[in-house]
Amino acid sequence: MAKAIMIQGTMSNAGKSFFAAALCRIFKQDGYSCAPFKSQNMALNSYITSEGCEIGRAQAMQAEAAGIEPSVLMNPVLLKPTTNIGSQVIVNGRAIGNMVASEYFRQKRALIPKIKEAYEKLAAQHDIIVIEGAGSPVELNLKSDDIVNMGMAKLAKAPVILVGDIDRGGVFAQLLGTLNLLEPDELSMVKGLIVNKFRGDISLFESGKDILQKRGGKPVLGVVPQLECDIEDEDSLSSKLDGKTAGLIDIAVIKLPKISNFTDFDVFSQYDGVTVRYVTRYEELENPDLIIIPGTKSTICDMKWLRESGMEAVIKRNVSNGTPVFGICGGYQMLGETIADPLDSECGGSISGMGLLRCRTVFMGNKRQTQIRGRFKNISGFFSCLSGAEFSGYEIHMGSTDSGEQLLLDCGGAYSGNVYGCYIHGLFDNSQVSERMVKKLYESKGITYRGGVIDRNAYKERQYDLIAESVRMSIDTKLLYRIIEEGI
């Protein structure tokens, strides 16, 4: 059975996913078989494993850092918000229905055996399990039947490292306040503290470490600097969604209220001169070189938002002026004529789409979850350069779309003029796709793209090595290994 270490945070976006990924890569580099685990994840960014199961994107990313295949065992419970008070509940990679928060909290105790089974199977296959918590371990109103923070640490008998975010201020209150609110048995499981996202001269924080250790009674393993790295984020707090100034090539992604899988577009930012902007208001859209409508966990609700916000009208105006548009998953559905959800799979009801593609979508009871690969058909329009290009990716959707348009891919999708849409997440990661698109966008401006070829997988491997190096240099790894060996 594997040893375990658990990373908990003082708040959301304190750096738990980042730190867990760094540890996964460090343990891999040190010759250990390591795997990530998060008992319950709440995120709209998800991934389909080779088994056809849906897990949080962060655990797939951490598995890559560990050099292993992502597995449903790494994230047995996934919550995908559909409204402000409800989520689709996914257990062992399969959706079991939509629940409002109060209903889920009444039933979550029944999930403990499934979480325990997944963890034990995973632990039997590896040397070290890096467990990630969620939010804060001291949300006092939610601690009953906890299955993701201290409840999970007890289940796995895992020592805990607590991470605080100094960049947002109040790191002493974060760390010491969290320790103060833990129960005595929980406090004994915390074996060390990490100060994350430090900017400036770290030597100036030596007295800060002493204060934390004296008042908190826990060793400070290290102070990790704010690192300029590019690993995939899992939630809406990602800095990637902040507004940016348009570059030479301006790609505008519509920031839908329930945007999902925004990591689909990370690859474009690797190309010289290309900027990916996430746009919330129609005034921000202006005249981009490419508009992307991303996936969403609530297609009909987000289609209403597109219409009521004025974004739909501005997108259509851009299309009439020749701007290409690409819709992925829910974005593809919105490009069509109608969207109907008779079974209340998401938010229910029906709505007319943007009418840019002759497609009709109906949400069914079954969710399509599969990895897929194929080729673009011989297509026309702005991106005719994609004809015959190979791709691989995955599908996650409830809706079934009937199209009266020409096929975009050998497995579906549609296009008309300069409007393209399909269900494939990860479509652009293949350099045959993204590079051809970037070259065409340059060409449309009368410029030749002279940047290098982007190998997405090699790029991500470099990022994992980068975060591992930074964390290794910033923390006491001997103490870390001792904590893991001694356990609780």
Point out the residues that are catalytic. Answer: 329, 425
Tokens of 51: 């088994």
Give strand ranges (E) for 123-212.
128-132, 160-165, 190-198
CA dist 288 and 483 (Å) reads 51
Of 479, 483, 488, the C-alpha closest to 209 is 479
Report the alpha-carbon angle 487-114-56, nearest 5: 80
Question: Would you say 40 and 148 are in contact if contact means Cβ atoms under 8 Å apart?
Answer: yes
| 3-state helix vs strand vs coil in the chain, percent to 5 | 35, 30, 35
Phi, psi at 218, each rounded to 5°: -130, 145
Quick one: how far is CA 48 from the chain centroid? Answer: 12
CA dist 286 and 18 (Å) reads 34
Q: Which residues contact 67 (CB under 8 A, 6 or more apart)?
A: 28
Look up tokens 């548009």; give the residue.
325
Burial class (CB in 10 A: 0-12, 13-18, 19+), 225: middle
Tokens of 358: 């002759």
Of 366, 398, 402, the C-alpha closest to 297 is 398
Burial class (CB in 10 A: 0-12, 13-18, 19+), 352: exposed
Q: Which residues pair with 456 in a beta bridge?
A: none
Of 347, 351, 333, the C-alpha closest to 293 is 333
> Could you write out the DSSP letters of every residue in 122-146?
HHTT-SEEEEE--S-TT-GGG-TT-
Kindly give the interhelix angle for 57-66 and 16-29, rounded to the nearest 10 degrees. 20
- C-alpha distances (whole Å) from 101 to each of 109, 251, 298, 470 are 14, 36, 17, 38
Question: Would you say 140 and 181 are in contact if contact means Cβ atoms under 8 Å apart?
Answer: yes
